[in-house]
Chains A and B, each alone.
Chain A
């Protein structure tokens, strides 16, 4: 076929399948935090990418410490936990100072968080410099698995995939199997009723927002293994994240997962057969056209409005 042996084509298909899955987990990690904040709470968090960068810079910072104390092989797990905690705390603070005053004005959250993203970018720049930085990665995160001589499975891809799975399961169990999640869902569905039955909705809001930010932090830390860390890197993620969430039907977690999968496969295949930048344009264009025909997203159910 096209002058290649069947073996070669087979190997490429395996690896191409893997890069589709890997892109899927990247998009999913990117979008999960936003799916909670935007999908569940209706807050348009334009600083989402910057919260990811909080995580990324935490990882970079931890790696510097790790190099100093010779813990390069084990620090990354701690870095991810630290990234979660730090982003969670900042998110908590931001909700308290900013977001809670704006719940009735969703478009204004967009503008205010855009302002926030500028401030955060400059903070990164002032504290870590304008240049891109990179985290010292442990040996076990580098290189690739080789199930056969001609197939390479990137370890960092696998790592991101595993992390995406863990975080998704975590979110799922929290939202649908715990009392905390029940409170969140109750508050989202009917704020007045929830507070009437004794749920502290303000607290729930704050924790939900902080949780979304925390997850963004985790994904940011994970992405230091596959891409860059700089003051403005966060802005690269924002459109993709929103596309995934909106395309999935904002309020549905399953929708987010399915849409991340769909977009990842489409982009991965299109970028294989077209040039990369045209593949990206074609993907975005498809999403926009589908959204124009089905504005409620792919996975919203029909209800009396």
Chain B
């Protein structure tokens, strides 16, 4: 089956499944309701479940430096929950939300997780954005046996019974993208640049191994800039000296904006230089400016311009809820999946108990995701596709490539 056939097939299948699912759900909401699922039966561990409601938590930074990134995730999660409630909720129970602010401060994430799990007894938490905040909160989730849906693409090297990762781990985001650019652009030499912290460093390590061992290419430079540094003059000159076929970039935050502006000003625009970045989504474009990005490539699993019925509907509803100017990036979409996956798992398990939900979710195939078909792997990550987007001046990307489904591999052998 060629990839386009396959796409066709999946499209058809997804429509079918979507329809049948919707029918099934309407039946459930119409007749079943909470009475069919007595509270005593569906919640045996003291979670905040009543006959009418179930409480979940949202834990992101609404304040501090990370608020820039995490706002989209909060919006998406709330949208998904509102939609679920409109459809009748989960096991006939309306979802109530306790939202906590992590304030861009990692111990606060741990402490708020503890509050959500121990005081509020939430059935699930949708939250965390940076790896540091997840790492801080993780021991709490493991100790209190909570359930976390984590939306960000991240470096992998982690797998917990209590966490589902709805974004991509590093190999999913990196390998297919490098394969594509090597084939498409006949790239032989790569220059790797990232912010100086764990995600870029891990990603670059995987990228380097892949380039050198599997693609027969050469890494001509590897560079890390301090978080928050905004001066790229010397770095850009080094790149000019090495003349790489491709710049592979994972710069984040304020540095990212400065990086693109200064790169363009130094004459390295997309006409002269191929760049593939793994740290630019539609959210970042607002700060960088479309004119500075035009023609460069991003590797993500989701772009707002994706053409499929699920996404059209999702984008329309997101804009209806948060205004015409709202943009949706990769993480926002991944965050949107969290509540839906949880709902599906609870219904498969027929229970809110974390132990049962955790067992029920792996193997679940979701066809209604805006990004298309995804499947939950036994390792708690999602099977998903990788797309390459080429940025336009208006801040949106044209999807120029779509891979097949990629298995998540958080502990990649041969890349460590």
- Asked whether any CB of A lies within 8 Å of a CB of B in the complex, the reply is yes
A4 touches B241 (CB 8 A): yes
B265 touches A143 (CB 8 A): yes
A227 touches B237 (CB 8 A): no
The answer, among B237, B265, B268, for a CB contact under 8 Å with A142, is: B265
B234 touches A137 (CB 8 A): no
Residues of chain A contacted by B262 (CB below 8 angstroms): 154, 156, 226-227
Question: How many angstroms between the C-alpha atoms of A146 and B267 in the bound complex?
Answer: 9
B264 touches A143 (CB 8 A): yes
B287 touches A26 (CB 8 A): no
A279 touches B234 (CB 8 A): yes
The segment out of A95-103, A179-187, A268-276 that lies at the interface is A268-276
The segment out of B83-91, B167-175, B219-227, B353-361 that lies at the interface is B219-227
The answer, among A136, A156, A228, for a CB contact under 8 Å with B257, is: A228
Q: A23-B233, A134-B289 are in contact. Are A276 and B265 (CB under 8 A)?
A: no
Determine how close the nearest CB of chain B comes to the CB of A2; give it in whole angstroms.
9
Question: How many angstroms between the C-alpha atoms of A299 and B298 in the bound complex?
Answer: 48
- B371 at the A/B interface (Cβ < 8 Å)? no
Question: How many angstroms between the C-alpha atoms of A231 and B254 in the bound complex?
Answer: 11
- B266 at the A/B interface (Cβ < 8 Å)? yes
A230 touches B265 (CB 8 A): no
Question: How many angstroms between the C-alpha atoms of A135 and B287 in the bound complex?
Answer: 9
- Would you list which residues of chain B between 37 and 91 have a CB under 8 Å from chain A? 64-65, 67-68, 71
* Contact code string A210-248 (vs B, CB < 8 Å = 1, else 0): 000000000000000111111111001000000000000
- B261 at the A/B interface (Cβ < 8 Å)? yes
B291 touches A137 (CB 8 A): yes
* Contact code string A259-273 (vs B, CB < 8 Å = 1, else 0): 000000001110110
Question: How many angstroms between the C-alpha atoms of A225 and B257 in the bound complex?
Answer: 10
- Contact residue range for chain A? 35 or more
- B17 at the A/B interface (Cβ < 8 Å)? no
* Contact code string B206-238 (vs A, CB < 8 Å = 1, else 0): 000000000000000011111011111111111
Residue of B nearest to A9 (CB): B241
B196 touches A277 (CB 8 A): yes
- Would you list which residues of chain A between 11 and 41 have a CB under 8 Å from chain B? 11-12, 15-16, 18-20, 22-23, 26
- Would you list which residues of chain A between 151 and 188 have a CB under 8 Å from chain B? 152, 154-157
Residues of chain A contacted by B266 (CB below 8 angstroms): 15, 144, 152, 154
- B198 at the A/B interface (Cβ < 8 Å)? no
Residues of chain B contacted by A155 (CB below 8 angstroms): 265
Determine how close the nearest CB of chain B comes to the CB of A7; give it in whole angstroms.
12
Question: How many angstroms between the C-alpha atoms of A226 and B226 in the bound complex?
Answer: 17
Question: How many angstroms between the C-alpha atoms of A277 and B193 in the bound complex?
Answer: 11
The answer, among B231, B240, B269, for a CB contact under 8 Å with A23, is: B231
Question: How many angstroms between the C-alpha atoms of A227 and B257 in the bound complex?
Answer: 6
- B98 at the A/B interface (Cβ < 8 Å)? no
Residues of chain A contacted by B238 (CB below 8 angstroms): 272
- A132 at the A/B interface (Cβ < 8 Å)? yes
Residues of chain B contacted by A279 (CB below 8 angstroms): 234
A226 touches B265 (CB 8 A): yes
Determine how close the nearest CB of chain B comes to the CB of A278; give it in whole angstroms.
8
Residue of A nearest to B286 (CB): A131
B233 touches A229 (CB 8 A): no
B237 touches A134 (CB 8 A): no
- A64 at the A/B interface (Cβ < 8 Å)? no
- B306 at the A/B interface (Cβ < 8 Å)? no
The answer, among A133, A227, A231, A281, for a CB contact under 8 Å with B258, is: A227
Residues of chain B contacted by A67 (CB below 8 angstroms): none
Residue of A nearest to B228 (CB): A236
Q: A125-B67, A226-B262 are in contact. Are A152 and B267 (CB under 8 A)?
A: yes
B241 touches A12 (CB 8 A): yes
- A290 at the A/B interface (Cβ < 8 Å)? no
Question: How many angstroms between the C-alpha atoms of A136 and B68 in the bound complex?
Answer: 20
B234 touches A132 (CB 8 A): no
Question: How many angstroms between the C-alpha atoms of A227 and B231 in the bound complex?
Answer: 8
- B117 at the A/B interface (Cβ < 8 Å)? no
- B249 at the A/B interface (Cβ < 8 Å)? no
The answer, among A133, A136, A272, for a CB contact under 8 Å with B237, is: A272
- A111 at the A/B interface (Cβ < 8 Å)? no
Question: How many angstroms between the C-alpha atoms of A70 and B67 in the bound complex?
Answer: 33
Among A131, A157, A281, max chain B CB count under 10 A is at A131
Determine how close the nearest CB of chain A comes to the CB of B267; give it in whole angstroms.
3
- A206 at the A/B interface (Cβ < 8 Å)? no
- B155 at the A/B interface (Cβ < 8 Å)? no
Residues of chain A contacted by B289 (CB below 8 angstroms): 134-137
Determine how close the nearest CB of chain B comes to the CB of A222; give it in whole angstroms.
12
Question: How many angstroms between the C-alpha atoms of A54 and B288 in the bound complex?
Answer: 19
B65 touches A232 (CB 8 A): yes
Q: A16-B237, A277-B224, A280-B226 are in contact. Are A133 and B287 (CB under 8 A)?
A: yes
B254 touches A230 (CB 8 A): yes
Question: How many angstroms between the C-alpha atoms of A230 and B226 in the bound complex?
Answer: 18
Residues of chain A contacted by B225 (CB below 8 angstroms): 275-277
- B245 at the A/B interface (Cβ < 8 Å)? no
Residues of chain B contacted by A269 (CB below 8 angstroms): 234
A22 touches B224 (CB 8 A): no
Determine how close the nearest CB of chain A comes to the CB of B248; give it in whole angstroms.
16
A20 touches B233 (CB 8 A): yes
Residue of A nearest to B259 (CB): A227
A132 touches B237 (CB 8 A): no
- B283 at the A/B interface (Cβ < 8 Å)? yes
Determine how close the nearest CB of chain A comes to the CB of B271; give it in whole angstroms.
11
- A8 at the A/B interface (Cβ < 8 Å)? yes
For the complex of A and B, list the 9 residue pairs with the smallest distance between their C-beta atoms, beginning with the closest.
Answer: A19-B233, A132-B287, A152-B267, A228-B257, A154-B265, A227-B258, A277-B226, A271-B234, A134-B289
Q: With A134-B257, A134-B289, A275-B223 given, name 5 new contacts (CB 8 A).
A: A16-B234, A19-B237, A130-B71, A134-B288, A156-B265
Q: Provide 28 A-B residue pairs closer than 8 Å at the C-beta atoms, listed in order of the A residue.
A: A12-B241, A131-B68, A131-B71, A132-B254, A134-B286, A137-B289, A142-B265, A142-B291, A143-B265, A152-B266, A152-B268, A154-B262, A154-B267, A156-B265, A226-B258, A227-B258, A227-B261, A228-B288, A230-B287, A236-B254, A268-B234, A269-B234, A271-B231, A271-B233, A271-B235, A275-B224, A276-B234, A277-B226
B residues neighboring A (CB under 8 Å): 64-65, 67-68, 71, 196, 222-226, 228-238, 240-241, 253-258, 261-262, 264-269, 283-284, 286-289, 291
A residues neighboring B (CB under 8 Å): 4, 8, 11-12, 15-16, 18-20, 22-23, 26, 125, 130-137, 142-144, 146, 152, 154-157, 225-233, 236, 267-269, 271-272, 275-277, 279-281
